[in-house]
Amino acid sequence: MGAPIVPSAGLPPLGAHVSIAGGLHRAPERAARIGADALQLFTKAPQRWAERCVTEEEAAAFRAARETAGIRVAASHDSYLINLASPDPGLRVRSARAFRAELARCEILGLELLVTHPGNATGGDRDRALFQNAELVAEAMRAVPGKTRVLLETTAGSGRSLGCSFEEIAVLIDGLPSEARDRIGVCLDTAHVYAAGYDLRGEYDAVLGRFDQIVGLERLALIHCNDSAAALGSRRDRHAEIGKGKLGERVFESLMRDERLAQVPRVLEIPKGSDPAATDRRNLALLRRLARS
């Protein structure tokens, strides 16, 4: 693995989505090995409904490992099955329960951030779906008080997924009661917004300006740094390594040098190939170089 990598001073927390194989407490060391001081993880198998509780012992082991690894910011990404906007009563109840359980695991682990995808308006009525989605996020926050900040992720807009426009993200935030609004933020995924039709490559400043105008940059709490294998406006969610997709290195150079975003942590969610650690390490090193060169 070579010499340990010391994350660069002066940069925001930088990391990747890492595996929890072997237990949650293994994630921080995996992050440290790729030179990260931020991480994102799943607190359970994301493609299954089965819930799990995190015990005090597991949480203590995770916190200790995190301390040792020097992880400044840790985020969870919620299950892909959750659809808080579903018109189907059964799926709605199941989703709400799963989201509450996710938030509870984040709290016990002491994670700063929980990234959630706005749901799918499968019934076709987007206004109703947005209203319900906001309501169920607020309900989970009431049921699980604490410090974990819930982040609405911008989506690519495939199918009927909500949150593919900054306006819809703003509607979701506005739909929350004020005490819940203090605990909400936004995760901007560069690949998703590009696929959703925001030309980060051609009009970086205009896109960021629009985000600021509609949502507010003060809400931006995490950036998913992903290049996009899918074209502008394609509404397809296909991530690529930094500089190897349609966005290209220049976009990430702008992002890494943007003083408005200087405090915003960022994580990679790129295809990892046959050697996940080497891929993430190489891409993180590239982001650092782009911040400096």
CB of 214 within 8 A of CB of 173?
A: no
By CB under 5 A, the residues from 187 to 206 that bind Zn ion are 189
Taking the complex as a whole, the smallest distance from the CB of residue 228 to Zn ion amounts, in Å, to 11
Taking the complex as a whole, the smallest distance from the CB of residue 267 to Zn ion amounts, in Å, to 8
Interface with Zn ion by CB under 5 A: which range of 3-11, 52-60, 152-160, 248-256?
Answer: 152-160
CA distance 159 to 126: 12
The partner residues of 289 in beta bridges, in order of sequence, read none
CA distance 279 to 56: 33
The partner residues of 72 in beta bridges, in order of sequence, read none
By CB under 5 A, the residues from 254 to 283 that bind Zn ion are 269
Q: How big is the site for Zn ion, counted in residues (CB under 5 A)?
A: 4
Taking the complex as a whole, the smallest distance from the CB of residue 269 to Zn ion amounts, in Å, to 5
CB of 190 within 8 A of CB of 224?
A: yes
Please select the residue that binds Zn ion; options are 201, 224, 266, 281, rule is CB under 5 A: 224
Taking the complex as a whole, the smallest distance from the CB of residue 189 to Zn ion amounts, in Å, to 4
Interface with Zn ion by CB under 5 A: which range of 95-103, 125-133, 165-173, 184-192?
Answer: 184-192
CB of 19 within 8 A of CB of 276?
A: yes
Other Cβ atoms less than 10 A from the Cβ of 177: the count is 12
CB of 221 within 8 A of CB of 186?
A: yes
Residue type, 211: F
Tell me how far the alpha carbon of residue 144 is from its chain's centroid.
20
Question: In the numeric block, which tokens belong to residue 259?
Answer: 């003083």
Residue type, 206: A
Interface with Zn ion by CB under 5 A: which range of 28-36, 90-98, 150-158, 211-219?
Answer: 150-158
Q: Which is nearer to Zn ion, 65 or 82 (CB)?
A: 82
Beta strands in 226-287 (DSSP E): 227-228, 239-240, 266-268
Q: Does 58 bind Zn ion (CB under 5 A)?
A: no
Q: Which is nearer to Zn ion, 65 or 256 (CB)?
A: 256
Taking the complex as a whole, the smallest distance from the CB of residue 200 to Zn ion amounts, in Å, to 14
Taking the complex as a whole, the smallest distance from the CB of residue 293 to Zn ion amounts, in Å, to 26
Which residues of this protein are in contact with Zn ion, per CB under 5 A? Answer: 153, 189, 224, 269
